Structure 1
């Protein structure tokens, strides 16, 4: 699949009306794009670096949780298509429980992840609640402590290569990479300006655990730094090769 074909598929599957796309429509789109015979040619085309390289690398970075977040297709405000490289490094910062500004979908291309879904509950485990905003595309995270909470684990599910899922904007969850893993990730149109982040009391935490000044203010993590073009292209080249392209 070529770049413009992928853009058309996403536009058709996600729609262009005032209503946000459903998690199922986002999941169906990502499942189609994540097929090796679809993703392989697309990634190989992008790995050549002759289309939107400057824009893609500007919005690609090493996430504070330790994985590389590479932009493939920039279709904002309707969608952003990314690939996540989880390298399986020891000592990685655990992901906080969180939701999103939009419906999202993810497909596992290589490796395996574990997803946990949560809900607020009086008998749940204690956690600290934060409100997260971002300073524009590629900007730094801003986290503000809003109070105490209790969360209950609803379900745990493992996803291996070839499996996909979609979540609505408010579903509380966290994802754990159980080995070196590659996922294709789709962000749809934003439905709100902030997200909810929870760090369990006494836990190591990720973004929220780095908040200072009494829990109100900016994270101590450095600003997002775009990946060098050579790193961006090398990771796409390796992915294309692993898919047979």
Structure 2
């Protein structure tokens, strides 16, 4: 599938009205695009130059949690299609529980992740709540502590290659990668300007007051060098047989 065909497919499936796409429609389209016979030639074309390299590298970076976020196609504000490359390092910092500004969907291309979903509850894991904003696409994260809460784990499931999921904007979750993993990740049109981040305080029977008093803002995003970006695309294309 050529780049413009993928772009049209995303535009058609996600719609252009005021209502956000459903998590299921986002999941279905990202699952289709993650098939090796579709993603392989797309990534090969991008690695060979069918990409706006300055724009893609400006919005591709090493995430604070240690995985690389590679922008494949930008249809902002309607969608952003990315590849997440997880090294699966033992002892890597776990992802905080969070939600998103939009409906998202993810499909596992290679490897495996565990996805956990949470909801606030009277009894549960204590957590400090932050509100996260971002200074525009590619901008810095800002964290503001807004309170305390408790969370209850409502679902945990492992996803291997070929499996996918979609989540609405407010679903609290975290993803854990325990081995080298590649996922295709779809962001849809933003529904709000902030996200909620819950930093767990394990081992506390009481409240979290007096626990972690603050959390430093994540470091600035540093765009990936073009050579690194293209090398990762090339490695992914070869792993898919292209």
TM-score by length of 2: 0.94
- Map residues 134-213 of structure 1 onto 2, 5 A cutoff: 134-202=134-202
Asked if 1:81 corresponds to 2:81, the answer is: yes
Q: Does 1:25 align with 2:30?
A: no
Name the structure 2 match of 1:209: none
How many matched pairs? 234
Output the aligned Cα RMSD. 1.3
- Deviates further, 95-104 or 50-59: 50-59
Displacement after TM superposition at 1:202 (Å): 4.1
Alignment partner of 1:41 is 2:41:
yes
Secondary structure in 2 matching 1:5: helix
1:161-216 Cα offsets, whole Å, 9 max, x none, are 0000000000000000020000000000000000000011148xxxxxxxx9x537
Report whether the alignment pairs 1:72 with 2:78: no
The residue that corresponds to 2:207 in the other structure is: none
Q: Secondary structure at the match of 1:215?
A: coil
Alpha-carbon distance, 1:93 to partner: 1.4
Q: CA deviation at 1:24?
A: 0.5
Q: Residue 3 of structure 2 contacts residue 50 of structure 2 at CA under 8 Å; is this kept in 1?
A: no
Contact 1:49 1:233 in 2 (8 A): no
Structure 1 equivalent of residue 117 of structure 2: 117
Deviations 1:90-144 (A, max 9, x none): 3321100000000000000000000000000001111100000001101111000
SS in 1 for 2:233: helix
Tell me which stretches of 4 or more aligned residues in structure 1 moved more than 3 Å.
none
Deviations 1:46-82 (A, max 9, x none): 0113420110000000000000000000000000000
CA distance in 1, matches of 2:202, 2:25: 38
Partner deviation per Cα, 1:25-57 (whole Å, 9 max, x = no partner)? 000110110000100000000011342011000
Tell me if the contact between 2:116 and 2:174 (Cα under 8 Å) persists in the aligned partners.
yes
Q: Could you tell me which residue of structure 2 aligns to residue 233 of structure 1?
A: 230
Q: Does 1:244 align with 2:241?
A: yes
Query: Aligned equivalents of 1:27 and 1:50: distance in 2?
Result: 25
